[in-house]
Structure 1
C-alpha cells in the first residue's frame, strides 16, 4: 500500500475513471498522460484548492469535511456504494482506530447452525468478513463443488473463485462472479482496510492471479445483496438460483441463501 493511505488510493482510482468529456471539460490538443481527470481539474470541479486536494490524495490532509467529501463525490460521479465507502475511509483517516479490528469470526452460534439446517434443501452458507466459509448446510457446501475437500481453514470463496480451476466453468459468468467477490471483499472490510487478515488474503490472491491483482487495484466496492447466479454444476447440471444475502452485523457475518427462481420472472 502506498503512503497515501486507503482514502488517497480510492480518490486516485476514481479520478482515473472520469474522462474530461464526462464532466463537460475539453480534452485539449495532444495526448493526455493520464486516462482520467487531472488533480487540478478535479479540484476545480469540487470547488477546493489544488493544494488542498493534492494533500488529501497524498494522505497529508486527514480531516476533510463532509461538504468537501460530498463535492468530491459529485465531481467523481460516485455511485451510492462508492459514496458510502468514501465516507468510511474519510472517517478512518481522521480518527484511526486505536487497535486492529476484531479477528474475522471463525465459529458461528448454535442458533445459526440450526437455521442452516432448517433452510435445507435450499443451499445456504455463512461467510465472515474476509469471505471464509465458516458454516454451511450440505447443499451450500456442495454448491461450491470441491470446496468440501479443502481444509476448513482454507474454505474461502474468493480463494476458491480465483485459484480452483474448475470454478472457471462452474460459474456460467465467472468473470462477473469474480468481480463481485472482490468488490464484496473490499466492502466488508471498509472499516479495516489495512487489517492483517485481509491483507494476507489479498497478498495470496494477488500473487496467484493477475485478474485479482487488477480488480483489487481498481478499488471496486459493492456489498452483495441479491442476484441471480447460474451454474454448470458437475452434479446438478445447468441450474440457476436466486440468492439473498442476510447480514449479521453483530457477528461480522453474512448468510447467503439460494432458492429456485420464481416462474414467470
Structure 2
C-alpha cells in the first residue's frame, strides 16, 4: 500500500472532523470552503509552520520528529490508538517480505489450550484478520471455519461477504466498523504485507459498505467488550469477548467469548456445547 497516500488521507480525515470551536479557536467568517480545520489553524495549534505541516499532510513524513508528531496528535485530539497509527504511517518500520508472506503457524500448545476450554468459544486471528485456529465451540457459535477453503478463513471476508453475517451479528454495523478499523490499524504498521492489497481490493469491489468504511480512515485496536449474536438454534444472546495477544507472536491474537454465569446466554452456550458441530451446521443450512 502507498504509505504516503495513507498518511495524507489520514491527516486530512482527522482534520476534517474538527471545527475551530472544538479546539478553542474563533470562528472567522460564515462560510468555509472545506469542512473542519484549515491547515494554518492546525499548524498554529501544533506550533509548527504551515509549510512544515503541509509537507507532512502531503505524505512527506520521512524526517518528522516524534515531538512534532505528538504535537500534531494533540492538536488533532487523537486517541492513543490513532496516535500510534499516525506514528506508523509517518515513520514506518519495514518488515521482511519473506516473513510477511509466509503462512502463520499456530503452536500445538495453543490449539490444545483452546480445545481444553470446554464451553468457551475461542479462535485465533492472525495477519489481515485471518482465522488461524479455533475450537469446537467457536465453530458451533460462529460457523464451521473448517468447511471453508483456507483463503476464505478471514474475519473481514466473513463479515462483509458472507450473506449470513448480518443475521449472526445483531449489531452488524458496529461489527463491520470494528473489523475495518482493526484492519486499518494493521495496514498502518504492515503496509509491506504483499497479501494485504489484494484483500482490500476484493472487499472494496464486492462490498459497498466496506468501501465507505475504509474511506473513513477509522482505526481501532482489537480489545474487549460485548457482542449480541443471534444463533439459529438458541436465539439471541449477549456475550463478552476478550482479545489476548500471544506472547511469542504479536501478530496472533486469541479471542474468547463467554457469558455471565446464571444468564440466559450462559444456558445457550451450555446447550450449544451439548450439540455436535454437525448438528449446528445442519441447522445453519435450513
Q: With structure 1 as the length reference, what TM-score do the two structures score?
A: 0.90
- Tell me the equivalent position of 1:219: 217
The 3 A distance-change label for structure 1 pair 215 and 104 is farther
Residue pairs, 1:110-129, within 5 angstroms: 110-129=108-127
Query: Which residue matches 2:11?
Result: 11
Provide the rounded CA distance (Å) in 1 between the counterparts of 2:79 and 2:102.
28
Matched, 1:75 2:72: no
Q: 1:249 offset after TM fit, Å? A: 5.3
Paired residues of 1:184 and 1:221 also in contact (CA < 8 A)? yes
Distance 1:3 1:148 in 2: 35
Most deviating of 214-223 and 141-150: 141-150
In the TM superposition, residue 233 of structure 1 has moved relative to its aligned partner by 0.9
- Indicate the SS of the match to 1:77: coil
Q: Name the residue aligned to 1:136.
A: 134
Structure with the greater alpha carbon radius of gyration: 2
Gaps of 5+ in 2: 264-286
Unaligned ranges ≥5, structure 1: none
- C-alpha distance 65-83 of structure 1, shift in aligned 2 (>3 A): same
Aligned 1:1-265 pairs, distance under 5 A: 4-92=4-92, 97=94, 99-100=96-97, 102-103=100-101, 105-145=103-143, 147-248=145-246, 250-251=248-249, 252-262=251-261
Task: Give the C-alpha shift of residue 148 in structure 1.
Answer: 4.5
* Distance change (3 Å), C-alpha of 1:82 and 1:182: same
SS in 2 for 1:48: coil
SS in 1 for 2:56: helix
Tell me, in whole angstroms, the C-alpha distance in 1 between the residues paired with 2:240 and 2:15: 34
Q: Is the 8 A contact 2:239 2:257 kept in 1?
A: yes
Please list every run of at least 4 consecutive aligned residues from structure 1 whose deviation after the TM superposition is greater than 6 angstroms. Answer: none
* Residue 236 (structure 1) shift: 2.7
Residue 15 of structure 1 deviates from its aligned partner by 0.9
CA distance in 2, matches of 1:99, 1:57: 27
Pair 1:61–1:90, CA change in 2 (3 A): closer
Q: Residues 102, 61 of structure 1: CA spacing in aligned structure 2 closer, same or farther, 3 A cutoff?
A: closer
Q: How many residues align?
A: 261
Provide the TM-score with structure 2 as the length reference.
Answer: 0.84
Question: 1:105 Cα shift?
Answer: 4.2
Alpha-carbon distance between aligned partners in 2 of 1:254 and 1:189, rounded to the nearest angstrom: 16
What root-mean-square deviation, in Å, do the aligned CA atoms of Structure 1 and Structure 2 show? 2.1
Structure in which a larger fraction of residues adopt helix:
2
Q: Distance in 2 between matches of 1:263 and 1:87?
A: 45
Change (3 A) 1:219 1:11: same
Q: Distance between the aligned counterparts of 1:239 and 1:61, measured in 2?
A: 46
1:152, distance to aligned residue in structure 2 (A): 2.5
> Within 2, Cα distance between the matches of 1:105 and 1:31?
53
User: What are the superposed Cα offsets for residues 77-135 of structure 1, whole Å, 9 maximum, x if unpaired?
Assistant: 0111111222222221xxx5274362364331111110110112210001112111111
Cα pair distance change 1:129/1:110, threshold 3 Å: same
Report deviation, 1:246. Answer: 0.8
